Structure 1
């Protein structure tokens, strides 16, 4: 395999590798670092011994992501306030996937699912991502992770049970989510508490992620009353040279608030039975940086 061919093979698989790493890590920058490390391994490998380049690259990427997860776990890193995954742009422009593909994408990279995956062990997370998001057979996952197939099946069952028990059931219809997001934005910016209360489910919750680097609730807010009052209070405090954009991240509509041209706050909603059941707010500037850099989105069948 020539150097040019090796580059082409890697670039063809880059979206898949990024998708695996992002789902495992929940951080765009970390995922891209892992994929870059995978490229270095690939560029230095004896490729005459590689019969299936795609499988080789997925194996290398998965193991590198596992190592990174284990390092974070072993260091016991503390995060200030609630944690949310770094937003990943999923706006496909003229290449919008069909309804089935969009629903699969929204579920596999949704904020709700990635939050639950954060509570799995690194190995459980790897097995879940490879099996549920990418449909790898158990035997192939066992080979990738150098584990016995029965052990992999047990890990998959445990991870699936954990995710099913903990992830919220959100509606993913894009038209409904966009409409409710627009109504939510109008009510919040006008300080319309009654309007907000009409949109929020009684048990609505608000999760604010600032990482201690911006103002946001340091605890999750529960109940429509608390969420509505908080949003009505902050919504009427405009930022310097504030502009608002509707974008799509993690498979769903979101609102990006910019101050003086820089991303300041990202809002995304969880919707259940036609009502807003969750409000996710990201204000950590490190996590918003990806939205300022104009990176190209991935296709649904890769990302």
Structure 2
């Protein structure tokens, strides 16, 4: 479907509550104050405001099972959270993720009621054990049977709490979701979180000219297998700098184009989306919307106006 067709479709939709619109945030080296500074900068960005945050773990960095300090930072800044529990480190580590989740519920109670958009059990765990993931040294992963078991454990942990009605899902790449071997996992989740990066799809014609069509084809393929469950965009973006991947060139101009064509359309269509990412200066490739600075600057490297 072309951009003009998608925009026409979006315009025809009935008005709904605004979707979640945020960034992905790592945990390494982060504290309550750095999370709060980042969340504030994201809300104050020139051109638009991002008011949600996706997390990969419930555990505060350098601790065993202390709840991540993004939570009090989110409460202070009225930032919604997509909780994440890391699911590829084994049963003992997942038990610590569950302990941190339960502790967070006990500690923050009703403050979490309107704060938590959902709970993701894992992130690209199945992708990492696919041939593509193994070839790219993506790291340790687990199969869908493990994720399904962990989803059941999360549902038990939140039963009867303030988070009892929060949707529980899983995040993986679009080509994992579209494999028929994931039917049982799709049946087990409340939502499908999809990660898709045309920049990395080197087996396709992946120049910026094709990126918009490629991304929305990936998204459409995922929705086609979702059995009418919501499909949330949990990661996407285009790098401002870094290596050329096949036909995909990392540049500020191309990141601007990708944001305008993919991000703005997702906003218009009220799709929950967590962009990658607010700031990662020094990384290669670098997907940061803003450059270096502490706290993160509020002037983006390219226009975020839609």
Bigger relative contact order (CA 8 A; separation at least 6) = 1
Give the greater-gyration-radius structure (CA): 1
When normalised by structure 2's length, the TM-score is 0.28
Bigger fraction of residues in helix: 1
TM-score by length of 1: 0.28
